Amino acid sequence: MKKTWWKESVVYQIYPRSFCDSNGDGIGDLNGILSKLDYLKELGIDVIWLSPVYQSPNDDNGYDISDYQAIMAEFGTMEDFDRLLFQIHKLGMRLVMDLVVNHTSDEHPWFTESRSSRDNPYRDYYIWREGNGNCPPNNWGSVFGGSAWEFDEHTNMYYLHLFSKKQPDLNWENPTVREEVFQMMKWWLDKGIDGFRMDVISMISKTPGLPNGPVQNGLYGDASPYTVNGPRVHEYLQQMNREVLSRYDVMTVGETPGVTVEEARKYAGEEGDELSMVFQFEHMGLDDHPLGFKWNDTPPKLVKLKATLSKWQTELAGKAWNSLYWSNHDQPRAVSRFGDDSPKHRVQSAKMLATCLHMMQGTPYIYQGEELGMTNISFETISQYRDIESLNAFRELTGNGILTQPEMLRYLRRKSRDNARTPMQWDDTLNAGFTTGEPWIEVNPNYPQINAKQQIADPDSVYRYYQKLIRLRKTHRIIVYGSYELLDPNDETIFAYTRKMEGQKLLCACNFSSREEVFFPPEEFIVRPGVCLIDNAVARYCCESQMTLQPYEAFVYLI
Ligand code: NOJ
């Protein structure tokens, strides 16, 4: 397996709107991030992934871009950006930017031109179709609810938007669109950024003819069979790699909903003519509703979680590189979803989850606040939510009688993207030190108990534990490159696995339950003395043939 810097890195994701506000307008900004670089350096991370900071009308918080080469006024200026990039590099870290090119904003000049007439030179930058009588061209539903087609009265045609109607899909079949995107990418790379996280990049190629999809919930057809891993997606990414990426020393991670192991080997193959790695979503779908949507409140089953993550570990081994994550700006807080956010178990279970993920093969991603064990927020009413996906889903699913309002509010509390978007909790002063103004979304009221200042001062905090995990990855190659094997796949409470490399062996054991559980380590770890690299509950000086693990205990043993 080839050794590269991005395989050996730990990435930290910043959602700028919610990270740190420097000017009191209630919205995080670039100078806010600048003021926290020392915090990130101290944590030990190597790469920052910055969610979109480009000019945007903010229908989807920056994932609807109206100018790819300008900074959103609320976030600052291009000079602020340049200063931030300079400082990140000066501190020995790297910066990866979000690349959102499946769609633009409907306020992007390309779209303004495109919609102005049927024969405008920009018409073919987007996907326009005639209606089917009075109906849209096909039955596809949008990810954010409603039809994926919007009728445009001006030219009497429909345009495709797989996300909101303010996010029209670009037509990647048009070679000029690809050329424009590649030029824009080069512009950022020439500025010195270190790579891209590519938004829904598995969706850029649509099946010609745009066939109807299977109908779900009696509402709309599922577009994914014809939009995910589409017929030309690899051709497009290979072209992008040839013409842009291969000319720079970059890391790229594709956000690839619907990716299979087989597809991932193509996107992120070890021989590398597309991307460095992809985000797979299988473990994010384990707690979906039986009706097929994400709105639900049943926790995922550990046996399935182990099977899923282990499948990706073993089936990509030597063939493609994994990215490792529990959370991001689209997912609920990890400790609330996979751990236990009660005061009794929050710290322990957050550390346990971190151990379980950071000892696997792949590049670990930490989402802002995860390193503090930040939790979901309990909004009581729909008016407290800000996220377009949550608001649309509430309206659609309760309006159609598929779910009741109390049910949907319960599901939102568990799964809404806003759980990840409440402001970063810096200290116990007003608004958790995030802003001196009125925050754009409420701060989690638990900030006096859960905040960075207090955790930096506490050697046993979740923050300090993450710091230690990151250091271990830097000092033990086996954590980066060792081979992986799952132990006891059917054990319903313990997630244990081994890593092996060049005569070294590592055991990672994690109790996912709130009770004591008995664990039987493999024989080889009992007979050979070794060292405990990290533990979150009990100092484990040796492995015994039978061990009683504390609630949410995790330990890592190296022989
Ligand atoms: C995936 C992004 O992570 C999400 O936040 C966004 O809403 C959609 N893509 C559309 O860009």
**Residue pLDDT, tens place only, 88-122:** 999 999 999 999 999 999 999 999 999 999 999 99
- Identify the band that residue 495 occupies on the pLDDT scale cut at 50, 70 and 90: very high
**Residue pLDDT, tens place only, 248-283:** 999 999 999 999 999 999 999 998 899 999 999 999
Tokens of 164: 């909101």
Q: How far, in whole angstroms, is CA 243 from its chain's centroid?
A: 27
Question: Percentage of the chain with pLDDT > 90?
Answer: 96
Q: Does residue 447 line the site of ligand 1, with CB under 6 A? A: no
Do 441 and 521 fall within a single domain? no
Q: Does residue 267 line the site of ligand 1, with CB under 6 A? A: no
- Identify the band that residue 393 occupies on the pLDDT scale cut at 50, 70 and 90: very high
Residue 420 domain-assigned (yes or no): yes
Q: Is the pLDDT of residue 291 over 90?
A: no
Q: Does residue 200 line the site of ligand 1, with CB under 6 A? A: yes
Q: Which atom of ligand 1 is nearest to the CA of 389?
A: 7
Mutate to test the pocket of ligand 1, among 13, 65, 163 (most ligand atoms within 8 A of CB): 163
Other Cβ atoms closer than 10 A to 400: 11
Do 486 and 464 fall within a single domain? no
Mean pLDDT of 349-368: 98
> 494 and 517 in contact (C-beta within 8 Å)?
yes
- Identify the band that residue 527 occupies on the pLDDT scale cut at 50, 70 and 90: confident
Residue 438 domain-assigned (yes or no): yes
Q: What is the CATH number of the domain that holds 146?
A: 3.90.400.10
- Which residue's CA lies nearest to atom 6 of ligand 1? 63
Query: Can you say whether the dihedral through the CA atoms of 430, 431, 435, 439 is positive or negative?
Result: negative
Mutate to test the pocket of ligand 1, among 15, 160, 330, 389 (most ligand atoms within 8 A of CB): 330
Residue 169 domain-assigned (yes or no): no
Query: What are the backbone angles phi and psi of residue 195, rounded to the nearest 5°?
Result: 150, -175
pLDDT value, residue 554:
98
Q: Does residue 330 line the site of ligand 1, with CB under 6 A? A: yes
pLDDT value, residue 455:
98
Q: Which of 58-62, 207-211, 219-223 has the lowest mean pLDDT?
A: 219-223
Q: What does DSSP assign to residue 433?
A: G
Q: Does residue 64 line the site of ligand 1, with CB under 6 A? A: no
255 is catalytic: yes
The Cα 274–Cα 207 span in angstroms is 20
- Domain residues for the domain of 419 are 11-103+174-468
Query: What are the backbone angles phi and psi of residue 33, rounded to the nearest 5°?
Result: -60, -45
Bridge partner residues of 55 (DSSP)? 67
Q: Out of 413, 435, 468, pick the residue that ends a domain.
A: 468
Closest to 29 (Cα-Cα) out of 514, 369, 437? 437
How many domains does the chain divide into? 3
Tokens of 506: 């590592």
C-alpha 427 to ligand 1 mean position (Å): 29
Do 539 and 410 fall within a single domain? no
Q: How far is CA 368 from CA 357, 363, 469, in A?
A: 16, 16, 16
> 295 and 403 in contact (C-beta within 8 Å)?
yes
Residue 252 domain-assigned (yes or no): yes
Do 382 and 509 fall within a single domain? no
Average pLDDT, the chain: 97
Q: What is the CATH number of the domain that holds 502?
A: 2.60.40.1180
Q: Which atom of ligand 1 is nearest to the CA of 328?
A: 3
Do 39 and 86 fall within a single domain? yes
The Cα 49–Cα 196 span in angstroms is 8
Q: Is the pLDDT of residue 542 over 90?
A: no
Q: Does residue 100 line the site of ligand 1, with CB under 6 A? A: yes
Query: Half-sphere exposure (CA, 13 Å, Cβ side) for 152?
Result: 26
Q: Does residue 60 line the site of ligand 1, with CB under 6 A? A: yes
> 357 and 364 in contact (C-beta within 8 Å)?
yes
Q: Is the pLDDT of residue 536 over 80?
A: yes
Q: Is the pLDDT of residue 21 over 80?
A: yes
**Residue pLDDT, tens place only, 212-230:** 999 976 689 999 999 999 9
- Identify the band that residue 1 occupies on the pLDDT scale cut at 50, 70 and 90: confident
262 is catalytic: no
Do 347 and 427 fall within a single domain? yes
Residue 166 domain-assigned (yes or no): no
User: How big is the chain by its Cα radius of gyration, in Å?
Assistant: 23
The Cα 249–Cα 271 span in angstroms is 15
pLDDT value, residue 70:
98
> 213 and 243 in contact (C-beta within 8 Å)?
no
Question: Percentage of the chain with pLDDT > 70?
Answer: 100
C-alpha 106 to ligand 1 mean position (Å): 15
Q: Check: pTM over 0.95? Answer yes or no.
A: yes
